[in-house]
């Protein structure tokens, strides 16, 4: 319990270890079977190339299993008590809230608008003074700007409405997707509700009908900055859409500021990480809140109390070191039933998320995270706090310039943050800071500074989030995980084959970029403060692309053996124990039970299992190749933004023809490997069966057994969406170019494995 000034205070949070004895036992059984498999392989006859490849792969799987056990071993959950904040109201910190958007087509402005409105309407004492919302628009779109301007107008009625009636979900599209039941005394409420709904519908219409060229021609002076701009080549545009200090509405609501950073084709803009760094600087010279919340444009606040809950984790420890940042697990709205694309990540966040939360702390997941500004500025736990300030308070201007760049205002704000001097008067007139904000949003501002390295979001990986979180952990901070009921934030997850695999490919690419760079976590463990078990947890994700390669090799073994009449799996031992079979059964039962425990269906388990095989052989494998090509300078990695669909939850499922859960394809190379594997396994089963039926038995000695057939059969089952895609039509069919290339690969494989 925290004690301050001798007075005992009620606790704000509790770290609860989760019990899991049965799971630990099950994990040991799997480990034992893996080791038994390895031992038999190492001691038995040498079965040639296939046997040796299998040995290497299985050793790798054992290593992975150990990594996996490490992450899951000591899970915790954090419980928060916002009601206890009442006695500490004066300690509540100011929060700058960031929203990023990059493309008005892939990310419809209405989606961003809803996210912004949900943030403007959160419950927080003095929200108008303590909170500010900044939107970064990498698309530099007048339509997005217009949508936000209209949203700011709408917020003047929306926020008071939410407060007056204690609205539960403050993203209007979500709130108005159902009609509440009005009681007999709810006269005023039902009137207000009907009015708000019609206002929202008007807002939607204005935004959806907005058209870029009309806005530029008739929109007036506000749009002048957008005339003749190119998306990748324009000066910084910063506009204040709502300045709360000039408002006369009740207690008001957070400032709203539109930021489109300067872009120049000769200057690398570092995608989202670059956008986050600009937001950090712009907010520093305007409101300079000590806490920064960041969300993607599709992640609305689903719980109006979320900032209060976060405060519990940020203020609730005796030492800040235990809570460098507070991350919310990503959850999605309107997810397809049974997770057909395996990207709702429920079990991942539950098992691995809570697991790593019990080590050095939850990873930073890029959205739904509350950061401390000083931590983002690269401060270490021992350079601050209880009498250890040393020289930090009196940092020289030169030192600050070297790190933060030349802006006097930015240096001054950073000095306040570093010295913990937060009592200085907040900047009252944010509009007087626009020119300074533009200066720090310029693309050359970072040249010769430490932005993107020790300061801000770290550059050099497509998964800037994980890398930035890793830097924070390496500095010695721990982090926490914020779980609330109702869930804190909800976002979109893509559907359809191309979008899902692109997203997995980006993540895997980013992970591999970290693994093979100087940011490798092993280095951080040796030379910095990254804890050993935390490092292993990071590694268990960073090796995804390597897994893609190893799992490809392993999945080629069964078809290879069927084609060449040999075996690679050990048969039953003297004691009658068929190790591969036992392993197959226990492992799958274990993962199956995980899904049941998380309240998911058997179908969801199967879909995820199958998607993992598909993702591994497509997205991860391609990420492996892309990064290898990048290191030899033959390729570049780019951040491909995922499509955010507008909500389809209008309830009248008039999509009889389209089946959103069915796998779709395009001509992207990401589909080639799995298509080839699906073809190869079918061919192998056919040839193997033909041989088994028509050849004499002595030919079959040492040849493939039932295990090899089962392996191939299981893979065909996993790749069933692709088998269907071979004959499917339209976007449900695999394009001819992909089939052709895959067929060529299969033919090559058959040619090289022809032996007898
Ligand atoms: O040049 C860019 C590219 C992207 N974004 C924004 O980055 C966010 C994430 O992009 P999205 O396409 O939605 O990717 P996801 O795969 O859904 O994002 C996950 O993975 C990313 C790392 O790959 C993290 O940055 C995200 O926070 C995390 O939610 C969105 O708000 C984009 O607008 C930019 O601001 N500028
Ligand atoms: Mn997203």
pLDDT at 754 over 80: no
Q: Any known ligand binding at 225?
A: no
- Closest-CA residue, ligand 1 atom 10, reads 641
H helices of 569-719, where? 579-597, 602-615, 621-631, 672-694, 706-718
Residue 644 CA, closest ligand 1 atom number: 13
Residue 298 CA, closest ligand 1 atom number: 31
What average pLDDT does range 322-332 have in this prediction? 97
Q: Any known ligand binding at 130?
A: no
- Tokens found for residue 646: 């507008």
> How far apart are the C-alpha atoms of 226 and 212, rounded to whole Å?
10
In the numeric block, the tokens 């309240």 are attached to 599
- Closest-CA residue, ligand 1 atom 5, reads 272
Model's pTM, two decimal places? 0.94
Write the pLDDT tens digit of every residue in 677-692. Answer: 999 999 999 999 988 8
What average pLDDT does range 619-645 have in this prediction? 89
pLDDT at 675 over 80: yes
What average pLDDT does range 379-396 have in this prediction? 62
Best substitution site from 366, 491, 500, 510 to test ligand 1's pocket, by max atoms within 8 Å of Cβ?
A: 366
Best substitution site from 297, 639, 642 to test ligand 1's pocket, by max atoms within 8 Å of Cβ?
A: 639
Q: What is the largest CA-CA distance in the chain?
A: 93
Write the pLDDT tens digit of every residue in 441-463. Answer: 999 999 999 999 999 999 999 99
> How far apart are the C-alpha atoms of 277 and 292, rounded to whole Å?
12
Give residues with Cβ within 8 angstroms of 745, minimum separation 6: 672, 673, 676
- Tokens found for residue 719: 């790749």
Of the pLDDT bands very low, low, confident and very high (cuts 50, 70, 90), residue 517 is: very high
Any bridge partners for residue 295, and if so which?
A: 99
- The pLDDT score that the predictor gives to residue 390 is 43
- Map residue 588 onto helix, strand or coil: helix
Write the pLDDT tens digit of every residue in 480-512. Answer: 999 999 999 999 999 999 999 999 999 999 999
Q: Any known ligand binding at 646?
A: no
Write the pLDDT tens digit of every residue in 82-100. Answer: 999 999 988 999 999 999 9
> How far apart are the C-alpha atoms of 254 and 127, rounded to whole Å?
6
Nearest CA-CA partner of 319 in 375, 379, 364, 381: 381
Quick one: CATH architecture of 82-493?
A: Alpha-Beta Complex (3.90)
Write the pLDDT tens digit of every residue in 138-172. Answer: 999 999 999 999 999 999 999 999 999 999 999 99
What average pLDDT does range 391-398 have in this prediction? 64
48-72 vs 21-43: helix axis angle to the nearest 10?
160
| Predicted ipTM beyond 0.95 | yes
What average pLDDT does range 279-286 have in this prediction? 97
Pairing assessment for the beta strands 255-260 and 300-301 based on DSSP bridges = unpaired
Residue from 103, 138, 225, 298 carrying the catalytic annotation: 138
pLDDT at 319 over 90: yes
pLDDT at 5 over 70: no
pLDDT at 328 over 80: yes
Nearest CA-CA partner of 194 in 176, 206, 221: 176
- Closest-CA residue, ligand 1 atom 13, reads 642
Of the pLDDT bands very low, low, confident and very high (cuts 50, 70, 90), residue 3 is: very low
Residues with CB under 5 A from ligand 2 (ion): 296
Judged by average pLDDT, the poorest of 214-218, 487-491, 527-531 is 214-218
- Closest-CA residue, ligand 1 atom 23, reads 463
Any bridge partners for residue 296, and if so which?
A: 100
Any bridge partners for residue 292, and if so which?
A: 96, 371
Secondary structure (DSSP) of 356-386:
HHTTT-PPP-SSSEEEEHHHHTT--GGGSST
What average pLDDT does range 293-319 have in this prediction? 97
Q: Residues enclosing ligand 1, CB less than 6 A? A: 100-102, 107, 136, 138, 271-272, 275, 296-297, 366-367, 462-463, 465, 503, 506-507, 510, 639, 641-642
- The pLDDT score that the predictor gives to residue 635 is 80
- Closest-CA residue, ligand 1 atom 26, reads 366
Q: Let me know if 248 is exposed, middle or buried by CB neighbors in 10 A (0-12, 13-18, 19+).
A: exposed
User: What's the gap in Å between 390 CA and the centre of ligand 2?
Assistant: 41
Judged by average pLDDT, the poorest of 208-222, 256-270, 485-499, 501-515 is 208-222
Best substitution site from 277, 615, 641 to test ligand 1's pocket, by max atoms within 8 Å of Cβ?
A: 641
DSSP at 77: E
User: What's the gap in Å between 296 CA and the centre of ligand 1?
Assistant: 6
Residue from 96, 137, 298, 465 carrying the catalytic annotation: 465
- The pLDDT score that the predictor gives to residue 134 is 98
Greatest mean pLDDT among 158-167, 419-428, 625-634:
158-167
> How far apart are the C-alpha atoms of 566 and 626, rounded to whole Å?
34
- Closest-CA residue, ligand 1 atom 32, reads 101
Q: Any known ligand binding at 296?
A: yes
Residue 366 CA, closest ligand 1 atom number: 27
Of the pLDDT bands very low, low, confident and very high (cuts 50, 70, 90), residue 653 is: very low
> How far apart are the C-alpha atoms of 212 and 218, rounded to whole Å?
10
User: What's the gap in Å between 2 CA and the centre of ligand 2?
Assistant: 37
Sign of CA dihedral 285, 289, 294, 298: negative
| Spatial contact of 325 and 379, defined as CB atoms under 8 Å apart | no
Of the pLDDT bands very low, low, confident and very high (cuts 50, 70, 90), residue 705 is: confident
- Closest-CA residue, ligand 1 atom 16, reads 503
Pairing assessment for the beta strands 480-481 and 325-327 based on DSSP bridges = parallel
- The pLDDT score that the predictor gives to residue 651 is 40
Residue 462 CA, closest ligand 1 atom number: 23
Q: Is 96 a catalytic residue?
A: no
Of the pLDDT bands very low, low, confident and very high (cuts 50, 70, 90), residue 7 is: low
Any bridge partners for residue 255, and if so which?
A: 132
Pairing assessment for the beta strands 13-17 and 76-80 based on DSSP bridges = antiparallel
Domain ranges of the chain: 60-72+526-648+660-753, 82-493
User: What's the gap in Å between 503 CA and the centre of ligand 1?
Assistant: 10
Give residues with Cβ within 8 angstroms of 612, minimum separation 6: 342
User: What's the gap in Å between 334 CA and the centre of ligand 2?
Assistant: 14
Q: Is 138 a catalytic residue?
A: yes
> How far apart are the C-alpha atoms of 381 and 277, rounded to whole Å?
22
User: What's the gap in Å between 331 CA and the centre of ligand 2?
Assistant: 11
H helices of 287-396, where? 306-315, 346-347, 354-357, 373-376
């Amino acid at each position: 319990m925290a004690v301050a000034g001798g007075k005992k205070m009620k606790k704000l949070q509790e770290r609860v270890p989760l019990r899991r004895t049965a799971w630990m036992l099950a994990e040991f059984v799997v480990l034992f079977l893996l080791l038994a498999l390895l031992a038999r392989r190492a001691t038995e006859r040498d079965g040639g190339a296939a046997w040796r490849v299998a040995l290497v792969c299985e050793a790798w799987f054992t290593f992975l299993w150990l990594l996996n056990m490490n992450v899951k071993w000591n899970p915790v959950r954090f419980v928060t008590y916002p009601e206890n904040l009442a006695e500490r109201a004066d300690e509540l910190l100011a929060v700058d809230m960031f929203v990023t958007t990059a493309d008005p087509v892939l990310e419809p402005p209405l989606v961003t608008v809803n996210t912004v409105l949900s943030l403007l309407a959160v419950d927080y004492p003095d929200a108008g003074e303590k909170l500010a919302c900044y939107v970064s628009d990498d698309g530099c779109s007048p339509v997005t700007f217009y949508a936000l301007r209209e949203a700011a107008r709408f917020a003047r009625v929306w926020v008071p409405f939410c407060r007056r009636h204690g609205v539960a979900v403050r993203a209007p599209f979500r709130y108005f997707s159902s009609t509440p039941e009005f009681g007999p005394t709810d006269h005023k409420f039902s009137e207000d509700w009907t009015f708000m709904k019609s206002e929202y519908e008007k807002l939607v219409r204005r935004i959806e009908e907005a058209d870029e060229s009309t806005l530029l021609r008739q929109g007036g002076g506000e749009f002048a900055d957008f005339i003749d701009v190119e998306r990748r080549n324009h000066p910084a545009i910063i506009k204040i859409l709502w300045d709360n200090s000039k408002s006369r509405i009740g207690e008001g609501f957070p400032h709203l500021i539109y930021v489109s950073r300067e872009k120049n084709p000769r200057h690398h803009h570092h995608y989202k990480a670059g956008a986050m760094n600009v937001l950090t600087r712009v907010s520093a010279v305007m409101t300079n809140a000590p806490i920064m919340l960041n969300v993607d444009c599709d992640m609305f606040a689903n719980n109006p109390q979320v900032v209060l809950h976060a405060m519990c984790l940020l203020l609730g420890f005796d030492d800040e070191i235990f809570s460098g940042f507070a991350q919310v697990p990503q959850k999605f709205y309107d997810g397809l039933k049974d997770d057909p694309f395996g990207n709702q990540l429920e079990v991942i966040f539950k098992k691995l998320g809570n697991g790593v939360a019990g080590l050095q702390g939850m990873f930073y997941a890029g959205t739904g995270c509350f950061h401390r500004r000083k931590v983002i500025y690269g401060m270490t736990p021992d350079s601050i706090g209880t009498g250890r300030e040393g020289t930090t308070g009196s940092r020289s201007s030169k030192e600050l310039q070297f790190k933060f760049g030349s802006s006097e205002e930015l240096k001054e704000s950073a000095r306040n943050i570093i010295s913990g001097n937060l009592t200085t008067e907040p900047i009252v007139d944010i509009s007087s800071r626009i020119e300074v904000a533009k200066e720090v949003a310029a693309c050359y501002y970072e040249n010769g500074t430490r932005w993107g390295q020790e300061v801000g979001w770290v550059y050099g990986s497509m998964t800037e989030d994980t890398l930035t979180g890793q830097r924070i952990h390496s500095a010695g901070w721990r982090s926490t995980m914020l779980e609330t009921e109702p869930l804190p934030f909800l976002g979109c997850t893509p559907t359809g084959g191309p979008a899902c695999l692109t997203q997995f490919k980006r993540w895997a690419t980013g992970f591999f970029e970290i693994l093979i760079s100087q940011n490798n976590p092993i280095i951080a463990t040796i030379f910095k403060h990254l804890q050993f078990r935390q490092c292993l947890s990071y590694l268990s994700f960073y090796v995804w692309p390597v897994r893609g390669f190893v799992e490809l090799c392993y999945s080629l073994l069964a078809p290879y053996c069927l084609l060449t009449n040999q075996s690679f799996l050990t048969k039953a031992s003297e004691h009658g124990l068929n190790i591969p079979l036992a392993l197959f059964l226990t492992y799958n039962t274990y993962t199956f039970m995980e899904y049941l425990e998380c309240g998911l269906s058997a179908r969801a388990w199967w879909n995820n299992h199958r998607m993992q095989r598909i993702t591994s052989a497509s997205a991860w494998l391609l990420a492996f190749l892309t990064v290898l090509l990048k290191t030899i300078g033959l390729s570049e990695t780019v951040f491909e933004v995922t499509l955010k669909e507008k909500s389809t939850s209008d309830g009248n499922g008039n999509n009889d023809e389209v089946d959103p859960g069915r796998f779709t394809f395009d001509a992207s190379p990401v589909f080639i490997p799995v298509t080839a594997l699906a073809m190869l396994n079918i061919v192998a089963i056919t040839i193997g069966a033909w041989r088994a039926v028509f050849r004499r038995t002595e030919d079959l000695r040492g040849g493939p057994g039932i295990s090899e057939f089962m392996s191939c059969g299981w893979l065909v089952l996993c790749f069933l969406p692709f088998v269907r895609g071979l004959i499917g039509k339209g976007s449900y069919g695999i394009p001819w170019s992909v089939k052709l290339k895959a067929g060529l690969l299969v033919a090559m494989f058959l040619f090289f494995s022809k032996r007898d």
